[in-house]
Amino acid sequence: MAGADLRRATLTKARLPAVDLTGANLAEADLRDAHLPKATLRCANLWHTDLSGSHLRQATLQGANLVFCNLNDSDLSGSYIYGISAWNVSVQGAKQTDLVITRRTQPIITVDNLEVAQFIYLLLDNERVRDVIDTVTSKVVLILGRFSPDRKVVLDQLKLKLRLLGYSPVLFDFEGPESRDITETVSILAHLSRFVIADITDARSIPQELAAIVPTLPSVPVQPIIQVGASEYGMFEHFKRYSWVLPIFQYEDSPQLMADIEAVIIRPAEELAIRQRVRS
């Protein structure tokens, strides 16, 4: 069945052990509870394919497209997953033990989580790690602030402006993952950032977040901003003694902030980032 066109096919509970589906197009197909042990799905298109409850032990998935694939409650144990594309894949309840992330010609290395497999392989392929880290940290800008409706408008516009200027802004307005508290997650993001912009207008969680970032990250400049008429919170004075915390920039409104961002925020932050990294 190599190269077969099975788009939107209904193959529920199909029993196809060791089937060869190399390069097959199974986009949006229904393969719920299918029995596919040792199947070859190399370079197969599994976009939006429903494989929930399927049996895929020791299957070959090298180079397969698993974008939006449903693998809930499936058994992937011992599968070969080198080179897969696994964006937005659903693996709730899936068995993922001993997933092989290396090519068959390489020594076998296994992981137990499909979603982190590519990241682990990247770490092992350490010749590329420095390039990846340098690329990430030269583009990411972490934006911190309060997410009340009026404040978030300013932060969203700041994010869009940074994107237009070639940066990858991260606006932290989401819930932290269950295994990390929010402050720890913010700290992790700061470690990956070129610089941080912190809107301390009407601050709430900002004091705790800056306390976790500033003292331990001298290579990451922090640019505080505040709207005219607002007062900085009392403990912010403590951070002014750190040389990598830039002077507070006061802005009248969002249009003025967008107009001045390159000259008064990005340029000083970039210059300081270069100086700090040379020192470190």
Site of tokens 């409850």: 53
Arithmetic mean of pLDDT over the chain = 87
pLDDT higher than 60, residue 273:
yes
Q: In angstroms, rounded to a whole number, what is the distance separating the alpha carbons of residues 65 and 42?
A: 9
Tokens of 73: 């409650």
Q: In angstroms, rounded to a whole number, what is the distance separating the alpha carbons of residues 197 and 266?
A: 9
pLDDT higher than 80, residue 182:
no
Compare 233 and 39 and report the one with higher pLDDT: 39
Say what the pLDDT of residue 55 is: 96
Q: What percent of the chain has pLDDT over 70?
A: 89
Say what the pLDDT of residue 175 is: 44
CATH architecture label of 132-279 = 3-Layer(aba) Sandwich (3.40)
pLDDT digits (tens, 9 = 90+) for 42-55: 999 999 999 999 99
pLDDT digits (tens, 9 = 90+) for 201-240: 988 778 888 888 899 889 899 999 999 988 888 788 889 8
Tokens of 246: 């830039």
CATH number for the segment(s) 1-125: 2.160.20.80
Q: In angstroms, rounded to a whole number, what is the distance separating the alpha carbons of residues 48 and 26?
A: 9
pLDDT digits (tens, 9 = 90+) for 77-133: 999 999 999 899 999 999 998 899 888 887 777 888 887 787 777 666 656 666 666
Say what the pLDDT of residue 169 is: 87
Amino acid at 130: R
pTM of the model: 0.58
Mean pLDDT of 181-206: 83
pLDDT digits (tens, 9 = 90+) for 245-271: 999 999 999 899 999 999 999 999 999
Say what the pLDDT of residue 104 is: 80
Say what the pLDDT of residue 133 is: 65
Segments making up each domain of the chain, as ranges: 1-125, 132-279
